[in-house]
Amino acid sequence: MKKILVVDDEENIRELYRDELAEEGYQVELAENGSQALSKFESFRPDLVTLDVMMPGMDGIAVLRPIREKNPSVPVLLLTAFGEFRQDFNTWASDAYIVKSADVSELKQTIRQLLGKK
């Protein structure tokens, strides 16, 4: 079973993604901030990370760097409510980037592609 670490400061988003991704057959772990994400990245050893760009304290871009240093082969999917982050070259270090939506079909499809499950 593939493991996904969902990192988002909004509880309702974390719960939605956990429920939807568990339904798809993934084991899901949640983190509500950057430092918790880095700790859980070490212990949970996910196959993929979904990472909110805008979080208080350590934002998603700041979390992305140490994840890449620790394990550059783990796909990271950046998520944000703001499409203009696509122009920020720091987001280019991620494997994919999507704008958050209540419709999680794009999220699920992107995760399947990144994990090689078409």
Provide, rounded to the nearest whole percent, the portion of the chain with pLDDT above 70.
88
pLDDT (0 to 100) of residue 98? 85
pLDDT (0 to 100) of residue 91? 47
The domains found in the chain, sorted by start residue, are 3-114 (3.40.50.2300)
CB atoms within 10 A of CB 73: 6
Mean local confidence (pLDDT), 15-20: 96
Mean local confidence (pLDDT), 23-31: 97
Count the alpha carbons within 13 Å of 74 in the hemisphere toward its beta carbon. Answer: 24
pLDDT (0 to 100) of residue 93? 58
Provide, rounded to the nearest whole percent, the portion of the chain with pLDDT above 90.
71
End-to-end Cα separation, the chain, in angstroms? 16
Mean local confidence (pLDDT), 9-25: 96
Q: Mapped to the 3 state alphabet, what secondary structure does the chain carry?
A: CCEEEEECCCHHHHHHHHHHHHHCCCEEEEECCHHHHHHHHHHHCCCEEEEECCCCCCCHHHHHHHHHHHCCCCCEEEEECCHHHHHCHHHHHCCEEEECCCCCHHHHHHHHHHCCCC
pLDDT (0 to 100) of residue 84? 54
Predicted TM-score of the model (pTM): 0.90
What digits encode the pLDDT tens for the residues 40-89? 999 999 999 999 988 999 988 899 999 999 999 999 998 987 655 545 55
pLDDT (0 to 100) of residue 74? 96
